[in-house]
Each structure stands twice: as structure tokens, then as C-alpha cells.
Amino acid sequence: MSSEISASAVKQLRDRTGAGMMDCKRALSEVGGDIEKAVEKLRERGLAKASKRAGRATSEGLIGMALHGAAGALVELGCETDFVARTDEFQKLVDTLAAQVASDPKIDSVELLSAASIDGKPVSEWLTGAIATVGENVVLSRVARLAVEADGHVGGYVHAGGKLGVLVALFTGAYVARQQLGIEWSTQSIRDTVAASGVWGPLLFVALIAFRAVLMIPSQILLIAAGLCFGTVAGTLYGALGITLSGAIMFAVVRFMGREALLTRAPLHVQVALDGAGRRIGATFLVLATGYPVGPITAWHAGAGLTGMAFGTFVFAVSIGSLIRAATYTFFGSRFAEAGIGQVLLAGALLLGVAAVPLCFARSRRWVGQMLSPMTAVARAPAARFSPPRPDRTR
């Protein structure tokens, strides 16, 4: 009777059940070629095989990963041998299960996934069919799901031959405040609070920027906060004003203290650094050093006080550079708290781009090296000028 079973019928049954070719042919022969009865026959045999293999250890297996919008899922499916774990049928089943978990927010455990259905077929039957197909015990070992709100992003990877899977969530500050602290934090709510403080908000911020060196707070952090609190335009103006004010104070202190009085009280290495910085600083260089988003700027403002630069020229140069630096960071800050992850990444890319453009030209690279390392003046300073007096050997 088996000779009457056509190859197309065997293929159709195999496509529906995933069972082996000989198993499909045998089942069709036993039921007279009826596809539906053959499916039921194979299901019964699969249950029997699953029952027999239920107690077998599943020390091998595979981890599957799937991403769906702002959610990701990992599913670990166990089997008895590594050979089965590498088969296409087994890998496809793992991916199918992971996709189901990623797309359904109600599934986050082995029990819930086992009770779910995929394409109208219970997951338990998918596992039973896999047992009948591969001839080994197959168990659902672990399930993990990670999801964030629409302003976040989930990514992941599987490596070590499918033995290790990782999900990573990237989200903005607003999400952390809402989920972890219970605070409804939005850009508008923060700006409303700042606006309610009246003129004291901007004055306090300008003072904070102006005296940041005393407080040991980098200007970059404060400028990002300016974008968050005041927006890009107002934050840029307040930030630039604070940097210009701090530079003017530093310039005036160094200039009116007197160059000789300062150098005689400073350690030797500081004398060399300030002297070198003062000799190299010009108005154009001061604009670039202040506007470049990476590196300290206080040392250059102090070094300018050791030169013959006019105070008005200094203020003009620093104000131009401050506007550039402030605009770069306040734009990033205004995007960070509430904007989607795409806009945050775009703002970060623009920030890196501004820092990287000068590195494309040889002369600019030399300037950047000088801006980031004022202490290189030590290596360039004439050694005899700062060498200690030699002992008298004539006696």
C-alpha cells in the first residue's frame, strides 16, 4: 500500500508537520493516504516519543534573539546533542519562539510562552513536533524579554555559538526619571520651573559658569545643562556670557597681579607652562582654543594675561569662541532629555563632528595639540633659561 503514496503527498505532509520523510510516508500508508489522518497519526507518535524522552538531560541547545520595535527577547531551547542544535529545523524553531516573545508584551516567562499559540498551534505542539522530528528531547529552558518606551531603543546579540545572548536598552534621561524615580520629567517641565524662578535662574547659572574653575565643574557639563534648562538659543547666550566673564576675571587677575609677581611665586613647571602659553596665544588662536569643544580653556585665558593683548581684544576673542563652544553643547543638551533616541544620536554625532573636523588638516592638528596640552611648552622652552645655577668649581 505504501507504493500508492505519491511523493507530492509525502512532501505536503512533511511541510505541515516537519516530520522525517520516511515517517510521513509510513503514516500516510497506515491511513490510506489521508493527509489529515496522517497529521493526527504523527501527532500521536510525537506525543509518545516526547513522553519517552521527557526524562533525558538537555545539556546542549541554542539561544535565539528577536527584536520588535522598542522590545527584544531571548529564548533558550534545550536539546540533547550539539548536532541537533545546529540543524536548520531547530534554529528556525528557536527564532520563531523568540519572535513570539518579542512581539507579545504579555509573555515574559517559560510558563507563559508554553501556554501561548503561534499560527493557531500551541507552543507545546511545536515542541512535540520538534521532538518527533529531531529524535531528541527538546525543552524550553529560559525566556527573557526587555522593553522600553517609545523614546528608547533595545538591541542585542548572540555569540559563542548560540550559547550566550545579551539584550541592551538605551534610553533618555526622561525615561529614567519616569520609571525609576516616579518623576514626570520633560524638557518643558524643567524649563517651566526655571522660568518660575525669574531673573535669578539665569543669574545663578551665569555665576555658576563663571566660577566653575573654583567649583571644579567642567564647562561641558554645565553647557549641556544649559541646553536642558533654557533651550539652545538662551542656553548658548547664558553659557557664552558665563565663559566670557570667567575668562575676563582670569585675564584681569593675571594681568593686574603683575607678570613678575606671579612667576616668582609659581612653581617652576607652572612658570614654564604659562610662559609658553603666553608666547603662543594670539586673538585667532584664542577663539579656536575657546570654541573647540574638547579640552580646558582656563589655562589659555590665564596665559593671555601674560601677553600684551589688549583687554578689549581678549574679550572679543573669548566671546566669539564661547558662543561656538556653548552652542555645540547646549544643542546636545536640549536634545538629550526628551527627544527620541534618533535625535540624541544625531546631536552626539554633530558634537563629535565639530571636534573631528580640525583633525583633518595638518595645521589644525598642531593647533589642537597645543590647545589640549598647554604643558607642552615645558618641552619647547629653552633649557638654559630655567636651569638652576651651576656650582662654582674654581675654588
The CA-atom distances, in angstroms, between 332 and each of 2, 169, 295, 337 are: 73, 20, 17, 10
User: What average pLDDT does range 303-314 have in this prediction?
Assistant: 80
What residue ranges define each of the domains in the chain, with the CATH number in brackets? Answer: 2-47 (1.10.8.10), 60-171 (3.30.479.20), 187-384 (no CATH)
**pLDDT value at residue 163:** 86
What pLDDT is recorded for position 11? Answer: 80
Q: Please calculate the CA angle 376-378-382 and round it to the nearest 5 degrees.
A: 125
Q: Report the half-sphere exposure of 344 (CA within 13 A, side-chain side).
A: 17
How large a percentage of the chain has pLDDT more than 70?
66
Q: Report residue 264 as a C-alpha cell.
A: 616668582
CB 33 within 8 A of CB 4: yes
In sign, the C-alpha dihedral spanning 292, 296, 297, 301 is negative
**Confidence check: pLDDT of 40 > 80:** no
The pLDDT of residue 2 is above 50: no
- At 236-249, the pLDDT tens digits run 999 999 999 999 99
- Mark 231-244 as b/e (b = at least 16 C-beta within 10 Å): bbebbbbbbbbbbb
Q: Give the model's pLDDT for residue 244.
A: 94
Spatial separation of the C-alpha atoms in residues 214 and 200, rounded to whole Å: 21
Residue 101: pLDDT band with limits 50, 70, 90? very high
Q: How confident is the model at residue 104 (pLDDT cuts 50, 70, 90)?
A: very high
The C-alpha atoms of residue 203 and residue 245 are separated, in whole angstroms, by: 12
Q: What is the DSSP letter of 66?
A: E
Helix boundaries (H) for 185-231: 187-196, 200-210, 212-215, 219-230
Of 351, 279, 291, the C-alpha closest to 318 is: 291
Average pLDDT of the segment spanning 53-57: 64
Burial pattern 251-263, b for ≥16 Cβ within 10 A else e, equals beebbeeeeeebe
How open is the CA angle 358-313-277, to the nearest 5 degrees?
55
Compute the average pLDDT of residues 316-342: 78
Q: Tell me which residue of 154, 190, 2 sits closest to 65, measured CA to CA.
A: 154
Residue 22: pLDDT above 50?
A: yes
The predicted-structure confidence for 281-302, as pLDDT tens digits, reads as follows: 577 778 888 887 777 788 778 8
